[in-house]
Each structure stands twice: as C-alpha cells, then as structure tokens.
Amino acid sequence: MKPYIALSIEDLSFSYSGKKALDQISFGIQTGRCTLLLGPNGAGKSTLFSLITRLYDTRNGRIELCGFDIKRQTRKALAKLGVVFQQPTLDLDLTVMQNLRYHTALHGMPRKLASERIQQELERLDMYERRFEKIRQLNGGHRRRVEIARALLHQPTLLLLDEPTVGLDVPSRHVIVDYVHRLAADENIAVLWASHLIDEIYANDELIVLHKGRIKAKGIIDEVLKITNAATIKEAFFSLTQGEQA
Amino acid sequence: MNIMHYWRAMWGIIWRECWRFVTQRERFISALVRPLIWLFVFAAGFRSALGLAISPPYETYILYEVYITPGLIGMIQLFNGMQSSLSMVYDREMGSMRILMVCPLPRWFLLLSKLLAGTAVSILQVYVFLAIARLYEIEAPWQGYLWILPALTLSGLMLGSLGLLLSSFIKQLENFAGVMNFVIFPMFFMSTALYPLWKIKESSILLHNLAHYNPFSQAVELTRFALYGQFNQNAFVYTLLAFIAFMTAAIVGYNPSKGMMTRKGGSS
C-alpha cells in the first residue's frame, strides 16, 4: 500500500499559564514507518500527545489526522487513532478479555467482530492464552502488550506510544520495540513513538528531536547525523539538547 | 457513526461500572453498612425522642425508622454520586479516564453514560437496602417499590451530575476530603432526610429555608412520595432542573475548549 501522511501538525503552540510548552512546531508522520520523538524531560512530548488526543484544546496551530481536523472533526479524527499512554490505563480488577471488550464497546464494534479482532491481536502478541487472567496477575511487560493490542483493535491508521517501555526489563522492551516496528511496515500504520531510549531507534526510523518546546532536528538518522556533524545518534542528541539527559 | 455505536458504548460503560461494583465486595458491603447503621442504631435511638405528626405522604402515625428510610435512600445515592466523582478523579490521575476521553464519541455522551452507570449502581444498592429494611418490618406498599424506580433514576442522575461537576474542579485526589466536609455533610444534614421541614422551622427559619432549597431535600421528597405511590410534582421539577444545571456545568467543565481541562496542564 502506498504511504501517505497520517498526521500533520502545523505551527502548533501551547502554553501553561503563559509558559510556552510548545513553540510553533510543524511536522508530518507517514504511514508504514516509525517516527521516534526524542526529547529530555520537559521537552513538550506529553503536551504534544495531549493535544493530538484532544485532551487539551488546540488554540494555536492545526492538527490533522488522516485529513480530519482534530478540533472541528474530532470524532472522525479520533476513530483513526490508537494510543498507548505512558501511565497504565488498564482496569486491574478486570480480565484481559473484559478490558478489551470494554474498548471494543467504546468503538461500537459488534460482538462477533470484536471477538475476532481480540483473538487476532492477542495471538499476534502471544497473549491469547492469558485472556481470562486478571490484569493484576500479569507482569509489566504483559500489561503493556495488552495495551498495545487494545490500541490496535479498531485498526487505527496512527498509533501513538508515549514511552511504552518505561520500567520494563530488556527482553520485554525488545519484544515491544520489535513488534511495533514490524507492525508499521506490515500493516502500513504510522507510528509516533515518544522515547528517551536511544537504543529503541532502528536504522530507517524517522527522528524528531524536541527540546524546550521546539523541534531541533528531524529526518532519518543519517540526515540528523549530517546536520549535527555527529558520529552517533547519542552525540547528535546531546549536541541538540545541550547535553541534557534524554 | 450510527445509533448502535452509541448503544454499545453506553452499555459497555454501564456494564463495566456494575461489574466493578459487584466484584469489589468491600465496596458493596460498606455502601450498605452506612445506611443500615443509621437505620438500626440512630433511628432506633431517636424513635422516642422525636414525635412526628401525620404529614403527606403518610396517612397515619409512623415510626421514625419509616420516616428516615427515604432519607437513607438519598444518603446511599449521595455517597454513591460522590464516590463516582472520586473514581473519576482517580481514573483521571491514573490515566484510565484518558481511554474514555479519546474514544470517538461526543464528550457529553460519555459523561452521561458514566453518570447512568453510577446511577445504576446506586439503584442496585438501594434495592438491597430496602430488602433488608423490609426484613426489619419497615415496609412500603408493594407497588411503591416499582414507583421509586423512576424517582431513583432522576435523583441518582442529579446527585451523580453534582459529583461529576465537582470532579471537573478537583485537581488531585487529596482534595477530595474537602468534598466530604463541604458538600456531603451539609447537604445531608441540611435536608429533610432526618427531620421534616416543619420540625426544622420550629428551631430555625434560616435552616428551614436552606433545607427547603437544598436539591437533596427535593430528591428525598420525590423518593418519599414515590415510595407511597404518589407523585410530588414540585420535587420532580426541582430535581430535574438541578440535574440539568449540574450536568450542563459538568459538560462545560470537561470540555477541552472551555472548561477546567485547559487549566489541568501539569508538566510536559
């Protein structure tokens, strides 16, 4: 399938009580690839995600999801969006199945279709056998897998992931990073992944480096290295953010 | 976006809320213990201290336990409404509220569904309470148990929407203690839940006026009359208007363009 722009952001600014969190940022995200949003704490990543998901109002600038303006065509835009938030959002006292069914209900899916999609997504993440277990009984990595499965149930075009591997061990992180990269390529989904872990970047990923609410660099790894005259992406990141920790 | 989408989403939200309630056994028991203590301990103790004249909807002298039963029903719904708002603040802090807010349905509909879910839970509690009260020989006419269903729905919606409105203002879970002190207690004690209006008037005109205009009093009176097969029109209109006012304000409060959500930033 031909790639197209799933997310377009133009001149977006946002302030908290006069303090600028995002300052006139513009970029586009294409389907079929992963775009890593890198930035130290306080760079504006979570604010950007809150604006894309319409938890905050867009007052300055424009956000379009698959051609739908998030402010004017909110529901059409949100129907195209799958999100994994940084904080866990599963109901611990419900089973995997019950959590996913709740999500399919919110997206208005008929029961049969919902069952098929749940099976499909859980099988892809090796979680189908555990569908009747309560979330409380699962470890952090498995909970994240359930959240990713949930975000994909309604077959979104854009998948937002806000630091989904924070607090996970190395094997769990590897499974998730690898799965999401394959997903983007195989399903022609656009992925916007906020991260502060440089080892999660693959060679052909797009990078956006955000610092103090401004975009410092964007492009594939080679382009970012060229702009910064750096040998590694770690060096490039440090020079763009004046040495602040990611 | 079709009507079935709305229907499935609403049932999904109601089902989740009811299921959570029945599986959280401690919550179920504590929701019942509170009004039962009031009924079996407080009301039994006050029975001899308070004399009640015959006043509508009662056609004969009644025991104090009978009088406060609708008040305790109101108490169940008041606490449940506030508990729902507490869970909204908790959900928002914990993030699960975000999942609800990013689904492709209008925000007013999601809030209304959440409210209906909370009301369904409170009605469940009320019927269990009434069944226990009946065993204690606090009885209403059989058809009364049916008549209170619409009354309970409206009063549950009104008290739930008040909770919803408060939750849109409360930034952190810790601030919720204030709701107990400044909303639940004044609303409950300055009402007709524990004593009739004419009795309050005997001791204080100001208190009488406050109790009279307290929407909680009107919700209690609506239930009291319905329990005896009567329709209290004033209480109905007042409760309905209070529901519309609280709900409208809550929707504005949760609107990202207009309400409190714009101010709930935090760090990026």
CB contact under 8 A, A17 and B265: yes
Tens of pLDDT, residue by residue, chain A (246 residues): 677 888 999 999 998 877 888 999 999 999 998 999 988 888 888 889 989 998 888 888 999 999 999 988 998 999 999 999 888 888 888 999 999 999 999 999 999 999 999 999 999 888 999 999 999 999 988 999 999 999 999 999 999 999 888 878 888 888 888 888 988 888 889 999 998 777 778 888 899 999 889 998 888 888 888 888 888 888 888 888 876 555
Half-sphere exposure of A235 (CA within 13 A, CB side): 9
Q: Identify the pLDDT of residue B266.
A: 37
* B104:A57 CB<8 A: no
- Whether the CB of B12 is below 8 Å from some CB of chain A: the reply is yes
Does the beta-carbon distance from A87 to B95 stay under 8 Å?
Answer: yes
Closest CA to A4 of A151, A161, A145, A189: A189
Calpha distance A100→A114 (Å, rounded) = 9
| Domains identified in chain A and CATH numbers | 1-80+157-246 (3.40.50.300), 91-155 (no CATH)
Task: Inform me whether the C-beta atom of residue B98 falls under 8 Å from chain A C-beta atoms.
Answer: yes
CA distance B119 to B125: 10
**E-state strands within chain A:** 5-16, 19-30, 34-38, 60-65, 68-69, 81-84, 158-162, 190-195, 206-211, 214-220
Tell me how far apart the alpha carbons of residues A205 and A221 are, in angstroms, rounded to a whole number. 7
User: Which pLDDT does position B51 carry in this prediction?
Assistant: 62
Determine the average pLDDT of the residues in B56-66: 74
Residue B191 has pLDDT above 90, yes or no: no
* ipTM exceeding 0.85, yes/no: no
Counting one residue from chain A and one from chain B, the pairs whose CB atoms sit within 8 A come to 113
Among B5, B99, B265, beta carbon nearest to A108: B5
| Selection from A196, A197, A193 nearest residue A205 by Cα | A193
Residue type, A158: L
B chain contacts of residue A101, beta-carbon cutoff 8 Å = 12
Q: Measured between CA atoms, how close is A207 to chain B, in angstroms? A: 19
Residues of B within 8 A of A44 (CB-CB) are 268
Shortest alpha-carbon distance between residue A144 and chain B (Å)? 14
